[in-house]
Structure 1
């Protein structure tokens, strides 16, 4: 995992070499302090970079070792990996915070020193101009002592200001780091809050879906009961209809038998009547044939 920590004040311009006033001895001392601090900070950064490189190498070397060791359960390996990952993240955060704090201190120091050097150069130029104007005037011993005491007081004040300045630098850096930490914590809390809200919404939806499923199951049970009742009714109706049809068929068959008997009786009667009719016809024909003989016999008898 590569960590690139760019300086937030890399854009600031370092102009220590341009502002070196030859007149003020105090400015030279401050410049020497800054120059001594720069290699220290560079050494610190080099040591930290070497530490990160060794840590990366150690991490890269640790990975194949775990691969060559005896096989463990997957959940144990995952737990160890998560612990190592959390430790690496903590170390990376600490390293980033340390580097950021050091860079902030260096940048604020440089800006402050540049500002003071500019002030001193302006003062020295103004003093030189005033000295050129006041060359003709002589200075008494009392004035010299007073100027020396004033310079000592100014030096003491500058030292106190430097101490206060360093304290202010540390406090500002700490405030900046705490502000960033508070912002990160706020973002994490916001993410957790969003997750909690999302979980609550999902739980509400899940409860609604469960209630819907319960209602649908109830409706399905009721529909099944109604269907079973309808099936029973249909079976009873079918049985009733089948029984009615059987009864109707039996009645029809009985009626048919009765009608066939009546038909046979009627056919017999018709045959008898036909015979009687034929007999009557034959008797009538015989009578008609005998009538002229009878009339002739009657006429003979009259004569």
Structure 2
């Protein structure tokens, strides 16, 4: 176990080339789950937790770790399963999503595996527990489920999606033009957050759930015109997505003569640890850490007002 914990910090810089590393873990039962190592700050034995009044029922308490007070979320309970018992013999995965640090209580942590995003697939259609999945993959003949952490966090502590009046009054975008943009994110919750944040800009917004679907849609438009940017001048894309990540999508857009003029804003929960060199290498126009509606609106305004 110590080797797994020590390796997390050493392996959080893998980005680009449509690859990722998954940290495998279990909740209650035999089902394996995965989380991108790039979002993991550290893994440790669960310390004593302090209960506080009026905490969300899925938050088991707070832990004091390296000078920080971190909320610890029971991932099993938050996704409709049984609460994890005996926290002293469990682990917490310290992660950073959407500019905040939180701990995820898990039963056990297994190992790290290197994957290609093409092997990460959208979840099967259906209700129940699948509603909390953002992707699935197969490892050694077993299904590994990747949770929609943004949905879990939004249910526990919803993010603000409305642009402030101060920022809205400074926007210079011509709202009468009803610009057509595309929003790409594997999380349905994240897509809805972006749409709500931008609704006052009078945009036509198309969506895609991953980079491959987005590229197919863009190529379909390209079949009808020489410069797709005249129709879709801007896309807002997550980085981590099944089948094709945002870096690869951006590189594909830049390599296609009919798509290359589209402005690309990478919008990701990889706050604080993103690789600026990679953003520049693939030719993205901007990077924004999720989720701040004012910053998102300002970026859209900048790229559509040029």
TM-score tier (shorter):
under 0.3
Where is the helix percentage greater, Structure 1 or Structure 2? 1
Q: Which has the higher contact order (CA 8 A, sep 6+)?
A: 1
**Which entry has the higher C-alpha Rg, 1 or 2?**
1
